[in-house]
Amino acid sequence: MTTHSVLLVEDDENDVFFMQRAFREADIITPLHIAKDGREAIDYLSGNGKFADREKWPLPCLILMDLKLPYVLGLDVIKWLRSEPAFKSIIVVVLTSSKQDADIEKAYALGANSYLVKPPDVQQLVAMVKRIKEYWIEMNQIGPPCIEFARGHAPKLSSGNPPA
């Protein structure tokens, strides 16, 4: 059976390092894959280029999305993701440093499932990741496309173009 995974969309190498550490400290065995910018996140989700091998790059059931990203902003990735019928049930948790009301409102309007502000220290990050694990990974029931992907069926993308 295919393992479900988490996709972290984050351009800051330090934040990636601390998130990987927090995943280890929270005893999360679910694979954590990294996309370093919005364009790479769309390629990953679409299975384009090096991400075509779904055994190596499985479709995530949970995305942790930064907003301030190179090439394609996090909000635009969420907008694209929610425009794809095959991806409507993938959980998107915004994880960003922005506390701006406009960002929060827009993220939810575009289809984010949760909005979290990055904590200021590692121990608070670990505590947050433990809560993410408890709710989104352990308690939450996955839906399509994760169920279909686990059964060996790749989701069909619409003909819509991703943002440039």
Q: What is the per-residue pLDDT across 81-109, written as a single tens digit (0 to 9) for each?
A: 999 988 888 999 999 999 999 999 999 99
Q: Is 2 or 95 the better-scoring residue by pLDDT?
A: 95
- Residue 80's nearest CA partner among 38, 35, 136, 34 is 38
Is 76 a residue whose pLDDT tops 90? yes
Give backbone dihedrals phi and psi of 147, rounded to 5 degrees, phi first. -65, -45
Considering the domain boundaries, does residue 162 fall inside one?
no
Domain carrying residue 119: 5-150
pLDDT for the residue 112: 97
* Average pLDDT rounded to a whole number, residues 70-79: 97
Nearest residue to 36 (alpha-carbon basis) of 11, 71, 62: 11
The domain tally of the chain equals 1
**What integer is the mean pLDDT of 33-49?**
96
Residue 152 in this model has a pLDDT that exceeds 50: no
Q: Is residue 109, in this structure, part of any structural domain at all?
A: yes
Asked, for residue 159, whether it belongs to a domain, the answer is no
Residue 63 lies in a domain: yes
User: Residue 110 above 70 pLDDT?
Assistant: yes
Q: Is the pLDDT of residue 164 over 80?
A: no
- Given a cut of 80, is residue 140 above it in pLDDT? no
The CATH number of whichever domain residue 40 belongs to comes to 3.40.50.2300
Given a contact cutoff of 8 angstroms between Cβ atoms, the answer to whether 154 and 51 are in contact is no
Q: Does 161 reside within a domain?
A: no
Residue bearing the bigger pLDDT, 153 or 11: 11
3-state secondary structure of 139: helix
Q: What is the pLDDT of residues 59-71, one digit of tens each?
A: 898 999 999 999 9
- Assigned domain for 64 exists: yes
What's the confidence (pLDDT) of residue 71?
A: 96
